[in-house]
């Protein structure tokens, strides 16, 4: 067992003080650590039947990223599962629980291709960590069926899948046209807020009365994120006259954007409120909130959730010109974020998207909050069995920047190759992680262009008098636990009821997996989004030693550790388990060698 003492600012092995964070490295450092005594629509079912025909004010609410959660869900005994043959999409061989060594998580959108029991279970076995419900499609009945399937799968203890509800949000769309319009460059068309314009005589209706007020002469009007573009020439009280710049075919109900501007619409529509309440009722883990323009709407939703007694993480989708202008405030208020590059690339010049992606990822990293990079990551695999080389590089860049998760949309919702898409994403992410570790050690800095990751809760001057606050002490402990695990090249094992310490350990990006044991099913699912964490459900006993041994046995049974291997057990966090509130400890244990395997080293 390794032991030591934490006093004030903890010295690192090379003599530097822990308070000098910007020069810290997590590898090649000899730690001095261990205990501290401190005071202190149409449903999916209809579409699925047809998929063979297709290719396929005061702000009293806490903003803590891991605030209180509801109690866990009682589970039934393990249910069996046998995949069935299908011909509509390719099907992989079902495997056992996925290897824990891929630290970047995968979010999969569930749709016609993936909403059946066998298809969803196949995605989960292939590596899906979060199931996304896209509320722009389907109805509550079909989404409820998906939630039930995810919970059924989680009961099998093969993998751990969280549920994310993605709101539709406010949208500006064109009206119905009698027939598709072939727009040629130089041709002029009129978009009007007057009802009844159906494309005849070059007039097309818009569903948003404020459209006239939001646009200006010389603005660029984008259709479906830039598939068509028109320059605004003039406007009246009801009409906007445009000239086609980039032509194409204009159909009904197309999405409209103004380059560089956000529509003055409420971030949460009436439909969204109904969907959010649905999420509370069925027990989702995260909301992906569309078209957030400021932090106010996040505080409003947090207040609503508090009144409902619900603990659901709020991940604003950064996808508008206004959202990047208020990025810092939004990230402070939220529980994480999503880089929604589709609409972001429509409202901003496309060349600015990589810059803002890095800013959003690093902004979440600094705050210790999870971040998802989304949109077009493997778009070509909707119809093709292999990705483009640019798509592979796109995934690798997101991983190197330090994202917690990468997301698949149409690839798994209605694509021909959903399982190959997940497999490609998992393989690229894992290979990139291994390369980072092999050639330079896992860097805390994200990309080389990004600022160093600093404290989430910075140590203050009060720590000099031996009275550091609990949040600061927990974080310092997480940093040194990570340093120890990296130095001895081993995994971290942590026990948590609220998820605080696993999240802190994830923030410091240890080189090896974090195994987080919890007796709360909600916490287990929520931790599925965090980088490097494999969350496992287990009932804690009153005796710490008994629980430790039970946990190590479970890790060994699953093949996560083997006899003779060392693991670092962390006891810290906001809620004491088998310790006093002022005591924090790290211990290194050797996994017992199986008597049947005499070949393992002592």
Asked if residues 530 and 600 have their Cβ atoms less than 8 Å apart, the reply is no
Which pLDDT belongs to residue 321? Answer: 86
Q: Is the pLDDT of residue 68 over 50?
A: no
Q: Which of 89-103, 118-132, 135-149 has the lowest mean pLDDT?
A: 89-103
Query: Among residues 24, 293, 302, 317, which one is catalytic?
Result: 317
Bigger pLDDT: 259 vs 30: 259
In contact, 475 and 20? CB cutoff 8 Å? no
User: Would the pLDDT of 261 be above 90?
Assistant: no
- Is residue 521 part of the annotated active site? The answer reads no
Catalytic residue among 109, 167, 192, 375: 375
pLDDT of 236 over the 90 cut: yes
What was the pLDDT predicted at 465?
52
First-to-last CA distance in the chain?
15
Lowest mean pLDDT among 35-39, 258-262, 492-496, 592-596: 35-39
How do residues 357-404 score in pLDDT, each as one tens digit?
Answer: 999 999 999 999 999 999 999 999 999 999 999 999 999 999 999 999
Return the higher-pLDDT residue of 585 and 56.
585
Span 298-315, mean pLDDT?
96
pLDDT of residue 187 exceeding 80, the answer is: yes
More confident residue, 405 or 445: 405
pLDDT at 452 over 70: no
Residue 575 banded pLDDT, cuts 50, 70, 90:
low
Determine the pLDDT at residue 257.
87
Q: What is the mean pLDDT of residues 526-549?
A: 93
Domains and CATH numbers, the chain: 21-32+453-590 (3.40.1380.20), 46-169+267-440 (3.20.20.60), 181-258 (2.40.33.10)
Model confidence, pTM? 0.79
Q: For residue 471, what pLDDT is reported?
A: 66
DSSP, residue by residue, 265-309: --SS-HHHHHHHHHHHHHT-SEEEETT--STHHHHHHHHHHHHHT
H/E element, 134: strand 130-134
pLDDT of residue 442: 47
Is 173 marked active-site?
yes
Give me the pLDDT at residue 20, please: 35
CA distance 138 to 136: 7
In the structure, what pLDDT confidence band is assigned to residue 467 with cuts at 50, 70 and 90?
Answer: low
Query: What local confidence, expressed as pLDDT, does residue 385 receive?
Result: 96
Residue 48 has pLDDT above 60, yes or no: no
**Does residue 200 have an active-site annotation?**
no
Q: Which pLDDT belongs to residue 226?
A: 85
Lowest mean pLDDT among 188-192, 288-292, 435-439: 435-439
Q: What is the mean pLDDT of residues 25-52?
A: 37
pLDDT band of residue 41 (cuts 50, 70, 90) is: very low
Report how far apart, in Å, the C-alpha atoms of 538 and of each of 359, 438, 500, 534, 585 are. Answer: 37, 33, 17, 13, 21
In the chain, % of residues over pLDDT 70: 75
CB 222 within 8 A of CB 257: yes
What is the C-alpha to C-alpha distance for residues 259 and 280, in angstroms, rounded to an integer? Answer: 35
355-360 contact pairs (CB < 8 A, 24+): 356/318, 356/324, 357/398, 357/401, 358/401, 358/446, 358/447, 358/449, 358/450, 359/324, 359/327, 360/318, 360/327, 360/331
pLDDT tens sequence across 239-249? 999 999 999 99
State pLDDT tens for residues 310-364.
999 999 999 988 899 999 999 999 999 999 998 888 888 889 999 999 999 999 9
Residue 224 has pLDDT above 80, yes or no: yes
Distances (CA, A) of 175 to 82, 249, 251: 46, 14, 9
Cβ within 8 Å of residue 246, ≥6 positions away? 185, 226, 228, 229
Quote the pLDDT of residue 149.
Answer: 97
Segment 127-154 mean pLDDT: 96
Per-residue pLDDT reduced to its tens digit, 2-20 = 333 333 333 333 333 333 3
Confidence of residue 281 (pLDDT cuts 50, 70, 90): very high
Q: How confident is the model at residue 212 (pLDDT cuts 50, 70, 90)?
A: very high
Q: What is the predicted pLDDT for the residue at 388?
A: 97
Which among 132, 158, 365, 509 is annotated as catalytic? 132
Higher-confidence position of 483 and 140? 140
Q: Which of 173, 261, 400, 550 is catalytic?
A: 173
Mean pLDDT of 103-111: 97
Tokens found for residue 220: 């660029």
> What is the pLDDT averaged over residues 289-300?
94
Mean pLDDT (whole number) for 20-28: 35
The structure tokens listed for 390 are 């640019």
Q: How far apart are CA 379 and CA 372, in angstroms?
A: 17
Q: What is the mean pLDDT of residues 506-534?
A: 94
> From the DSSP assignment, how many helices (H) and strands (E) are in the chain?
17, 22
pLDDT surpassing 50 at residue 199:
yes
Give 219 or 25, the one with higher predicted confidence.
Answer: 219
Residue 317 known to be catalytic? yes
How far is residue 568's CA from residue 528's CA, in Å, rounded to a whole number?
21
Specify the pLDDT at position 31.
Answer: 35
What pLDDT was estimated at residue 597?
54
How does the average pLDDT of the chain come out, rounded? Answer: 81
Confidence of residue 472 (pLDDT cuts 50, 70, 90): confident
């Amino acid at each position: 067992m390794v032991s030591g003492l934490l006093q004030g600012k903890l010295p690192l092995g090379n003599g530097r003080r822990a308070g000098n964070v910007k020069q810290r490295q997590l590898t090649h450092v000899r730690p001095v650590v261990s205990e501290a005594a401190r005071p202190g629509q149409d449903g999916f079912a209809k579409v699925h039947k047809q998929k063979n025909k297709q290719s396929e004010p005061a702000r009293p609410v806490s903003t803590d990223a891991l605030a209180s959660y509801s109690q866990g869900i009682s589970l039934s005994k393990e249910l069996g599962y046998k995949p069935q043959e299908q011909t509509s999409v390719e099907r992989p061989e079902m495997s056992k629980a996925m290897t824990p060594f891929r630290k970047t998580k995968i979010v999969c959108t569930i749709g016609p291709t993936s909403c059946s029991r066998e298809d969803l279970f196949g995605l989960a076995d292939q590596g899906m960590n979060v199931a996304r419900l896209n509320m722009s499609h389907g109805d509550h009945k079909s989404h409820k069926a998906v939630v039930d399937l995810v919970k059924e799968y989680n009961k099998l203890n093969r993998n751990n899948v969280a549920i994310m509800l993605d709101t539709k949000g406010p949208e500006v769309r064109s009206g119905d046209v009698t027939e598709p319009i072939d727009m040629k460059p130089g041709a002029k068309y009129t978009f009007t807020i007057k009802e009844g314009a159906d494309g005849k005589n070059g007039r097309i209706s818009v569903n948003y009365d404020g459209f006239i007020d939001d646009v200006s002469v010389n603005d660029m009007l984008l259709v479906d994120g830039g598939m068509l573009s028109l320059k605004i020439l003039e406007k009246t009280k009801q009409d906007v006259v445009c000239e086609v710049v980039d032509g194409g075919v204009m159909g009904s109900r197309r999405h409209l954007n103004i380059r560089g501007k956000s529509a003055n619409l409420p971030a949460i529509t009436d439909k969204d409120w109904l969907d959010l309440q649905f999420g509370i009722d069925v027990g989702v883990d995260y909301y992906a909130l569309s078209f957030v323009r400021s932090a106010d709407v996040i505080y409003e939703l947090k207040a609503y959730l508090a009144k409902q007694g619900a603990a659901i993480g709020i991940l604003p989708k950064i996808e508008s010109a206004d959202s990047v202008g208020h990025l810092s405030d939004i990230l402070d208020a939220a529980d994480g974020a999503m880089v929604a590059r589709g609409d972001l690339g429509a409202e901003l010049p496309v060349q600015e998207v990589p810059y803002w992606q890095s800013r959003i990822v690093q902004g979440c990293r600094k705050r210790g909050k999870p971040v998802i990079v989304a949109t077009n990551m493997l778009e070509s695999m909707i119809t093709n069995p292999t990705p483009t080389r640019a798509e592979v590089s796109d995934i690798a860049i997101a991983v190197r920047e330090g994202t917690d998760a990468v997301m698949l949309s149409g690839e798994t919702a209605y694509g021909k190759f959903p399982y190959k898409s997940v497999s490609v994403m998992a393989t690229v992410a894992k290979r990139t992680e291994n390369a980072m570790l092999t050639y330079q050690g896992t860097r805390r800095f994200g990309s080389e262009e990004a600022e160093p990751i600093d404290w989430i809760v910075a140590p203050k001057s009060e720590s000099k008098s031996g009275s550091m606050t609990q949040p600061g002490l927990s974080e310092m402990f997480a940093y040194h636990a990570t340093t120890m695990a990296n130095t001895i090249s081993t995994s971290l094992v942590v026990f948590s009821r609220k998820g605080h310490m696993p999240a802190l350990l994830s923030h410091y990006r240890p080189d090896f997996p974090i195994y987080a044991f919890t007796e709360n099913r909600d916490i287990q699912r929520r931790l599925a989004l965090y980088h490097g964490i494999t969350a496992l459900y287990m009932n804690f006993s009153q005796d710490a030693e008994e629980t430790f041994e039970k946990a190590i046995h479970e890790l060994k049974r699953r093949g996560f550790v083997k006899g003779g291997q060392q693991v670092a057990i962390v006891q810290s966090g906001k809620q004491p388990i088998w310790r006093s509130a002022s005591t924090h400890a790290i211990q290194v244990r050797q996994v017992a060698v199986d008597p049947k395997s005499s070949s393992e080293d002592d």
